[in-house]
Amino acid sequence: MPQPLNLHPDRLFPADPTVRAIARRLYDSIKDLPILSPHGHTDPRWFAENPSFGNASELFIRPDHYVFRMLYSQGISLERLGIPRRDGAAVETDPIAIWRLFAGNYHLFRGTPSRIWLDTVFSEVFGMTVALAPDTAEQYYHAITEKLATDAFKPQALMDRFNIECIATTEGALDDLKYHGAMKGGAMEKRVITTFRPDDVVDASREDFADNIKKLGELTGEDTHSWDGYLAALRQRRAFFRDHGATATDHGHPTAATANLSHAECRTLFELCISGKAGSAQQELFRAQMLTELAGMSIEDGMVMQIHPGAFRNHNPRIFEGFGRDKGADIPSPTEYVKALKPLLDKYGNDPRLSIILFTLDETSYARELAPLAGHYPCLKLGPAWWFHDSPEGMLRFRHQVTETAGFYNTVGFNDDTRAFLSIPARHDVARRIDCRFLAGLISEHRLGEDEGFELARALTYDLAKKAYKL
């Protein structure tokens, strides 16, 4: 006998009736605001070519590292989940078998945000009324897969249904942005924008770094084997990205280190890095220097700079060798900001034209470092709870630990940061509910007026993102 799938209208609000009623009032005032998604990893092809999304397993399992990392942690091989191997060796290809395996282990997600997002998509997007479980697996598979074949479930229709006003994708510095180009002049032009993520030409520890620098030269006609030519090429690419809608850059570095070297030191370091002879400390110094260089370029061209430090990428070499990047094996590390950012801040920190949005995977920095920094430096704002912390408890810790020192207005609203397009409304809904809940707590304790709460609910949902990302 299947359990019903009920999304309670008051989900994620606290049980206390006073606080819940306030949270509900705030939420009702903002739940229908359009979605701004200023940082994420959806595929621009979807919006340009409007394809169907395939079957339920392709949509929900294969691309979602939150899902398969949990299954893997309980001994289920990635091969059985149909994750393609780099060596082309056989993996499960029957999507129904994969879906059954997932459904049979759906209990593993109890208490996780994936469970909330998935149930919300199942209910709100696909209209499911029973819970996913072994005995409903096939019913789910077929219901979802059939709907995905219809026009109403194609990307452009969903953009409207989801009320997405603007979504940013993320592309590497060498990307030709052909899908963004193809959208020019169409209905999606201003709704789908790119983001400039130059890690591929900034991180000299990558195996493809030398190649990438060469390609950067070919793309731009600059001599990218000279420091000045390299910088000129980056400026050119930034302009190209801006022409395809980009208002922001993004930097996924292992640490928040910045540097402020002389021009001569930069030249020497750059030459060492492109020679392939740089050690890891020199590669780290180069990344550090490049954050400062890129901040300088942001002052010139007005692009907002996002820094996402602190992930130890590809921690599990067997998974990396077998399946490649982004397979659930990235692990957060302790991340220091106060000393790390000082060289950049010493140079540019007081410049009102600069806007840097900081993220962290190390929650200990919220109250100790990030809120004090953002509560002082005009150029700094704090991005929302990120990745492993994009969750009800993670968001509550963010607000509880950040607000008293940084206030609300040094934060920038929500980022869904996802490649799972169908989950975007669910993710924003969690953020909206949790923000309203947090505000309701303050109001119920007479730390904030309810009139202020309505203003803030709107700011956290819409206004702050619009302003911070210059949308």
Residue 246 beta carbon to a second copy: minimum distance, rounded to whole angstroms: 23
18 binds a second copy (CB under 8 A): yes
Decide whether 171 or 363 has the Cβ nearer to a second copy.
Answer: 363
User: Which residues ranging from 329 to 348 are in contact with a second copy (CB under 8 A)?
Assistant: 329, 331-334, 336, 338-339, 342, 345-346
Tell which positions 181-220 bind a second copy, by CB under 8 A. none
Encode the chain in three state secondary structure: CCCECCCCCCCCCCCCHHHHHHHHHHHHHHCCCCEEECCCCCCHHHHHHCCCCCCHHHHHCCCCHHHHHHHHHCCCCCCCCCCCCCCCCCCCCCHHHHHHHHHHCHHHHCCCHHHHHHHHHHHHHCCCCECCCHHHHHHHHHHHHHHHCCHHHCHHHHHHHCCEEEEECCEECCCCCHHHHHHCCCCCCCCEECCEECHHHHCCCCCCHHHHHHHHHHHHCCCCCCHHHHHHHHHHHHHHHHHCCCCEEEECCCCCCCCCCCHHHHHHHHHHHHCCCCCHHHHHHHHHHHHHHHHHHHHHHCCEEEECCCEECCCCHHHHHHHCCCCCCCEECCCCCCCCCHHHHHHHCCCCCCCEEECCCCCHHHHHHHHHHHCCCCCEEECCCCHHHCCHHHHHHHHHHHHHHHCCCCECCCCCCCCCHHHHHHHHHHHHHHHHHHHHHHHHCCCCCHHHHHHHHHHHHHHHHHHHCCC
Site size toward a second copy, by CB under 8 A? 93
Judged by CB under 8 A, which of 15, 89, 264, 281 binds a second copy? 15
296 belongs to the binding site for a second copy (CB under 8 A) = no
Tell the smallest beta-carbon distance from residue 322 to a second copy (Å): 9
159 to 188, contacts with a second copy by CB under 8 A?
A: none
Site string for a second copy, 373-412 (x = CB under 8 A): xxxxxx-x-------xx-xxxx-----xx-xxxxxxxx--
Q: How far is the CB of 424 from a second copy (least distance, A)?
A: 19
Residue 185 or 317: the one with the smaller Cβ distance to a second copy is 317
Out of 25, 31, 69, 235, the only residue in the binding site for a second copy (CB under 8 A) is: 69
Under rule CB under 8 A, residue 129 binds a second copy: no
**Residue closer to a second copy (CB basis): 276 or 334:** 334
For residues 41 and 381, which CB has a smaller minimum distance to a second copy in the complex? 381
Is residue 102 at the binding interface for a second copy, with CB under 8 A as the rule? no
The only residue of 147, 235, 368, 466 in contact with a second copy, by rule CB under 8 A: 368
The residue within the footprint of a second copy, chosen from 273, 444, 457, 468 (CB under 8 A), is 444
CB atoms within 10 A of CB 65: 18
Q: How far is 170 from 196, CA to CA, in rounded Å?
A: 6
Binds a second copy by CB under 8 A, chosen from 316, 326, 419, 467: 316
- Closest contact distance (angstroms) between CB of 184 and a second copy is 34
184, 186, 449, 470: which one binds a second copy (CB under 8 A): 449
Please name every residue paired with 332 in a beta bridge, in sequence order, or none if there are none. Answer: 311
Query: Which part of the chain contacts a second copy (CB under 8 A), choosing from 12-20, 92-100, 275-283, 285-293?
Result: 12-20
Which CB, 86 or 376, lies closer to a second copy?
376
Minimum distance from residue 447 beta carbon to a second copy (Å): 7
The stretch among 139-147, 196-204, 273-281, 316-324 that binds a second copy (CB under 8 A) is 316-324
Query: Which parts of 236-255 interact with a second copy (CB under 8 A)?
Result: none
CB of residue 459 to a second copy, shortest distance in Å = 9
